């Protein structure tokens, strides 16, 4: 199954199902925040949030604003809210029978991988992943990846930039 988020095309052929979750047809007139995609695998659900400041028509101002929002914590807070609301929605649908892996894909080639590691720690606290009162964690894993890291984890053909054409 192929799903598209702006200039990025995702190949979910290794999943049982994949859904464009950030869709009004799914949520109706709801103010709940939502991740972009949910893929179901045999052993887990994968929630994917995509931010693509390297999109070809992005301006220097767009990229600057993205970095400002990432540095200030606004984006990480937004990622946490999207995860929590999406998890709640899925639980209320009765689709919470598997662990969840949360992947945030930040497709910006100039981002330092060390900065991503720092933001992962903050995201874990913002969600939160674990709590003393919980018998289970809210996510099996939670990572922020750049495009190359995503391809390493899911395969070289798992995502491609549409504007670069086919190979």
Q: What is the pLDDT of residue 109?
A: 87
Summarize the confidence of residues 137-144 as an average pLDDT: 95
Distance CA 59, CA 57 (A): 6
Distance CA 71, CA 119 (A): 9
- Sign of the dihedral defined by the CA atoms of residues 157, 163, 166, 167, in that order: negative
Residue 32, judged by CB atoms within 10 A of its CB (0-12, 13-18, 19+), counts as middle
Token pair in block for residue 55: 């999109």
Q: How far is CA 60 from CA 54, 67, 145, 147, in A?
A: 10, 11, 22, 20
Token pair in block for residue 89: 């929605």
Number of Cβ within a 10 Å radius of residue 26: 14
In tens, the pLDDT along 73-88 reads 999 999 999 999 999 9
Q: What is the pLDDT of residue 167?
A: 57
- Which domains does the chain carry? 2-164 (3.40.91)
Containing 147, the helix (H) or strand (E) segment is helix 147-154
- Quickly state the pLDDT bin for 115 (edges 50, 70, 90): confident
What angle is formed at CA 50 by the lines to CA 27 and CA 93, rounded to 5 degrees?
A: 30
Distance CA 31, CA 76 (A): 19
Distance CA 32, CA 89 (A): 8
Structure letter (DSSP) for residue 133: T
In tens, the pLDDT along 10-63 reads 999 999 999 999 998 888 788 899 999 999 999 999 999 999 999 999 999 999
């Amino acid at each position: 199954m192929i799903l598209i988020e702006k200039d990025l095309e995702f190949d979910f052929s290794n999943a049982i199902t994949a859904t464009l979750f950030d869709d009004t047809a799914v949520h109706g007139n709801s103010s709940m925040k939502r991740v972009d995609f949910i893929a179901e695998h045999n052993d887990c659900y994968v929630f994917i949030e995509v931010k693509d400041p390297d999109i070809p028509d992005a301006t220097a101002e767009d990229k600057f604003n993205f970095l400002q929002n990432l540095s200030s914590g606004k984006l990480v807070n937004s990622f946490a809210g999207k995860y929590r609301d999406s998890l709640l929605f899925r639980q209320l649908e009765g689709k919470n029978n598997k662990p969840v892996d949360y992947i945030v894909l930040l497709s910006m080639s100039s981002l330092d991988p060390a900065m991503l590691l720092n933001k992962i720690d903050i995201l874990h606290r913002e969600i939160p992943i674990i709590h003393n009162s919980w018998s289970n964690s809210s996510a099996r894993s939670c990572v922020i990846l750049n495009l190359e890291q995503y391809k390493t984890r899911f395969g070289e053909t798992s995502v491609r930039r549409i504007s670069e054409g086919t190979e």
